Amino acid sequence: MIHKTSTLGMSRKEWLAERRKSLGGSDMGAVLGMHRYSSPYAVWAEKTGRLPDEEDNEAMRQGRDLEDYVARRFMEKSGKKVRRLNAILRNDEYPHLHANIDRDVVGEDSGLECKTASALSSRRFAGGDFPENYYCQCVTYLAVTGYRRWYLAVLILGKGFQIYQMTTVPEDEVPAWCESSTYVGPEEIAALTRAAEHFWVSYVEQDSPPPVDGLSATTKAMETIYAEDNGGEVQLLGREGLFREYFDLKFAADRIAKEMDLIKQTIMEDLGQASTGSCDGFSVTWKNQTRMLFDANRFAKDHPGMDLSAYYKASISRPFKIKKEASSQ
């Protein structure tokens, strides 16, 4: 049975609190390691209340403002009619998941996800492809709703408008207005729902973090959770091997970086004062750019009687540094 939690009249804070009760479509992309900007650890930290509510930003604002436009473009191109569904959906069969869908397709068991992408990411939508985390999001919605199809409509700012189909119908028809169609079998939905249950039961309910994974989102989450030190000291017994491995890798990374710089310098010498260069399948640019910076020290010197303290913002950081003692081998 599917339950609806109305979002009408909900504040953003209330909406975020409701979403923390289970895993949504965008969460599953991170849980499965298919999200560029999130990670399993970051999702765990958010669901357990260790991270502050995500601050609104310009990309999020544009995505919301353009959602209705994307939906209208979908109707125009597909000939279908869609409607807004102001609710968070949960299915008794998959209690650890929820779906906060953009649009219902009227008259059929289908839904629509609306996305707005930067022109710089247009290559990720070439040849019928689209980002993996979008795919995970749509498969999550197929699981929660039990729908047969899900459409993904993407506005690539200044570049184009594309629609993709995900279907649970074997050998389904591919509409002429779709860039591609992907079959989502029952085993794939089962695998996703099992992953959601395992993550929620093993990590969220146990209040125990998933293994660290080397992703930048995990580092960012840790820096937020442990933003302030307490002055204590920990004996890292048994970690000697990790420290040695770290410095072995650092040495290799430094060597690779030097070899890359050598290649870069060779090509720079080839270009000289030219702005661009190319060869078979490759291109390079080396162009002048102008950037205006505010010189605070000079301003203070030119205005010695002005109190500028109100314009300075204190920033607290906690740099992570590994050092090798002289006696270590």
pLDDT per position as a tens digit, 128-157 = 999 999 999 999 999 999 999 999 999 999
Return the structure tokens found at 268. 């720079």
Which of the given ranges, 121-125, 161-165, 282-286, 323-327, has the highest pLDDT on average? 161-165
Residue 154 is predicted with a pLDDT of: 97
Q: Are strands 149-156 and 160-167 parallel, antiparallel or unpaired?
A: antiparallel
pTM of the predicted model as reported, rounded to 2 decimal places: 0.83
**Considering only 24-38, 72-86, 170-184, 292-306, which range has the smallest mean pLDDT?**
292-306
> What's the mean pLDDT in 257-264?
95
Name the maximum alpha-carbon separation found in the chain.
77
Residue 309: pLDDT band (50, 70, 90) is confident
Compute the distance between CA of residue 294 and CA of residue 297 in angstroms, rounded to an integer.
Answer: 9
Show the CA angle centred on residue 326, arms to residues 324 and 329, nearest 5°. Answer: 75
Contact 157, 118 (CB under 8 A): yes
Q: Are strands 110-117 and 149-156 parallel, antiparallel or unpaired?
A: parallel
Number of CB atoms found within 10 A of residue 251's CB: 10
Taking the C-alpha atoms of residue 50 and residue 52, their distance in angstroms, rounded to an integer, is: 7
Mean pLDDT within 114-137: 93
Lowest mean per-residue pLDDT among 86-90, 253-257, 308-312 = 308-312
Other beta carbons within 10 angstroms of residue 70's beta carbon come to 21
Spatial separation of the C-alpha atoms in residues 233 and 235, rounded to whole Å: 7
pLDDT at 296: 79
| Model confidence pLDDT, tens digit, residues 16-36 | 999 999 999 999 999 999 999
- pLDDT tens profile 203-218: 999 999 999 999 999 9
Would you tell me how many other CB atoms lie within 10 Å of the CB of residue 149? Answer: 21
Residue 109, classed as helix, strand or coil, is: coil
In the chain, beta strands by DSSP E: 2-6, 82-84, 87-91, 94-99, 103-105, 110-117, 149-156, 160-167, 180-183, 276-279, 282-285
Q: Map out the domains of the chain as residue ranges.
A: 2-225
Q: What percent of the chain has pLDDT over 90?
A: 78
Backbone angles phi, psi at 123, to 5 degrees: -65, -25
210 against 300, higher pLDDT: 210
Question: Does the pLDDT value for residue 295 go beyond 90?
Answer: no
- Among 104-118, 212-226, 306-320, which stretch is predicted with the lowest mean pLDDT? 306-320
**Per-state percent for the chain, helix, strand, coil, to nearest 5:** 40, 20, 40
pLDDT band at residue 59 using 50, 70 and 90 as cut-offs: confident
Fold of 2-225: Lambda Exonuclease; Chain A (3.90.320)
Q: Are 91 and 143 in contact (CB under 8 A)?
A: yes
- 3-state secondary structure (DSSP) of residue 96: strand
Calculated CA dihedral for residues 229, 231, 237, 241, nearest 10 degrees = 50
Q: What's the average model confidence in pLDDT over 175-202?
A: 97
Mean pLDDT of the chain: 92
According to DSSP, the β-strands at 110-117 and 2-6 are unpaired
Neighbour-count burial of 195, counting CB atoms closer than 10 A to its CB (0-12 exposed, 13-18 middle, 19+ buried): middle
- Three-class DSSP category at 279: strand
Predicted local confidence at residue 327, as pLDDT: 57
The pLDDT, as a whole number, for residue 326 is 63
The confidence score (pLDDT) of residue 299 equals: 85
Of the pLDDT bands very low, low, confident and very high (cuts 50, 70, 90), residue 321 is: low
> Span 164-168, mean pLDDT?
97
What letter does residue 23 receive in the DSSP assignment? B
Residue 291 pLDDT exceeds 90: no
